[in-house]
Copies of this chain bind each other. A is one copy, B any other.
Amino acid sequence: MDLSFTPEENAFRQAVRSFVQSRLPADIQKRTLEGRKQTHDDYKRWHRLLYEQGWGAPTWPKEYGGPGWGAVEQYIFEEESAAAGAPLLSPFGLKMVGPVIYTFGSDAQKERFLPRIRSAEHSWCQGYSEPGSGSDLASLKTRAERRGDGYVVNGQKTWITHAQYADYIFCLVRTDPKAKQQQGISFLLIDMKTPGITVRPIVTMDGGKEINEVFFEDVHVPVENRVGEENAGWTYAKFLLGHERTNIAGVAVSKRELRRLKHIASEERKNGKPLIEDPAFAARIAQVEIDLWALEITNLRVVSAEKEKRAPGPEVSLLKIKGTEIQQALTELMMLARGPSALGLLNDADAFRPAAAYCNLRKTSIYGGSNEIQKNIISRTILGL
């Protein structure tokens, strides 16, 4: 047992660090470190720079154009990127549909989609949830009827992050309405420019317009855009949920945000002294810092198991629960640190506004399988209840 990194891993960290430091555009870095909103263009620019370096798909195997990094290298890459203020890469292509395509897709799909995900030419979004089926995904109702050489899709998807920027959406649709819940579902790749698709933003309480509803009205999808077998979509969806969770805890970003919290607490004053020196507030920061530290080790335990090619198990649910609790605690403390002035949402909507961030981060315990669902999973699979 040894928690230090190997010399090779340290050299790798150094390489990542110097790349990020030399290539990350200063304006993007500034926005991230100040907690300002990132634009879609920020993501794309950074992704392209990585692509030029050969790191366009950091988590992919070499075979599909990835750098072939192991779990530890991936972890180091994410940590260094987040610490330096690089934007998080959009997960929908790289971490979600990409692995599904290279594992289950046809050769044509691999050829057509994978290079464009890697190069940031295509942006993707995820069409899973529906108004009537959130955590209970298998109850989805969007229909895809086979007609000729394609499907005709009708229905509605919701809570779709960045649908407005997406070139493609991957969707779970019902292809056999008579089959039981989890059967009869297929996995389709749909061009967002297809006639019949309407995107409607859902304004969230922080004023953000990240998420959307997407309506499908007689949308024609060629049959070659179905991944794998008809009615076997649930298998691919499950694979996806179980895949790549190295970073689900968000430790790297939370470490950066912790630094920002400390910065805010050193700017604010209470009783004539920096707030960070107030014992009560310092103890609250210490508590979240310690929680995060423990989570980091827990995360490394999972990463280390992945390195040994053991697949990540239900412990990723634990990472998700604790990770989101810490993310929420951090924004809550930033808001409380600012005190009464946090009430005011200054007119620069891109600026870091702790109260808006506090509101926005409530989503983390809801999306990606709510924390209640994660608890059900742990209860069933780890505790055997």
Contact = CB atoms under 8 A, between A and B. Distances in A.
A7 interface: no
A279 interface: yes
A305 interface: no
Interface residues of A, number: 3
A280 interface: yes
A8 to B, nearest CB: 45
A283 interface: yes
Contacts of A280: 279-280, 283
Interface string A262-282: 000000000000000001100
Interface string A74-92: 0000000000000000000
Nearest to A283: B280
A280 B281 CA distance: 10
A279 B279 CA distance: 8
Contacts of A283: 280
A280 B280 CA distance: 7
Contacts of A279: 279-280
A279 B270 CA distance: 15
A271 to B, nearest CB: 11
A280 B283 CA distance: 9
4 contacts: A279-B279, A279-B280, A280-B280, A280-B283
Interface of A: 279-280, 283
Closest 4 CB pairs of A and B: A279-B279, A279-B280, A280-B283, A280-B280
